Amino acid sequence: QKEVEQDPGPLSVPEGAIVSLNCTYSNSAFQYFMWYRQYSRKGPELLMYTYSSGNKEDGRFTAQVDKSSKYISLFIRDSQPSDSATYLCAMMDPFNFNKFYFGSGTKLNVKP
């Protein structure tokens, strides 16, 4: 069983839509949860991270963690064509801060 599962998409939405991206995980010990954005032919860049449960908001982006369901989400409000990218979730190994478990990424296309 994979540590992290993520729907690969692709997800296609019109500009201005609210986007919901999700990941599930199997290890209840995970505490740090990250979302990366990766544009084509680029490396991933960190969007947001959260520690433990709850919500975190940064501009149009909201990250949500539900530890009881082992489920994390990233919401994008008022989506823009520039948000078109692959979004990767990741979790840090609680016993080895050098080790991260990544989802396979969800490809998002925001149509103008």
Partner 1 sequence: EADIYQTPRYLVIGTGKKITLECSQTMGHDKMYWYQQDPGMELHLIHYSYGVNSTEKGDLSSESTVSRIRTEHFPLTLESARPSHTSQYLCASSPGSTGEGSYNEQFFGPGTRLTVL
Tell me the C-alpha distance between 68 and 71, whole Å. 8
Q: Is 88 in the site for partner 1 (CB under 8 A)?
A: yes
Q: Is 85 in the site for partner 1 (CB under 8 A)?
A: no
List the one residue from 41, 68, 69, 112 that touches partner 1 (CB under 8 A).
41
Tell me the C-alpha distance between 101 and 112, whole Å. 33
Among the listed ranges 1-9, 14-22, 62-70, 77-85, the one in contact with partner 1 (CB under 8 A) is 1-9
112 preceded by a cis bond (ω within 30 of 0): no
Q: Report the Cα 77 to chain-centroid distance in Å.
A: 14
| Per-residue three-class SS string for 70-100 | CEEEEEECCCCHHHCEEEEEEEECCCCCCCE
Q: Is 45 in the site for partner 1 (CB under 8 A)?
A: yes
Tell me the Ramachandran region of residue 2: left when phi exceeds 0, alpha when psi lies from -120 to 50, beta otherwise: beta
Q: Is 92 in the site for partner 1 (CB under 8 A)?
A: yes
List the one residue from 7, 32, 73, 75 that touches partner 1 (CB under 8 A).
32
Among the listed ranges 37-45, 55-63, 64-72, 77-85, the one in contact with partner 1 (CB under 8 A) is 37-45
The residue ranges that bind partner 1 (CB under 8 A) are: 2, 4, 6, 8, 32, 36, 41-46, 49, 51, 88, 90, 92, 97-105
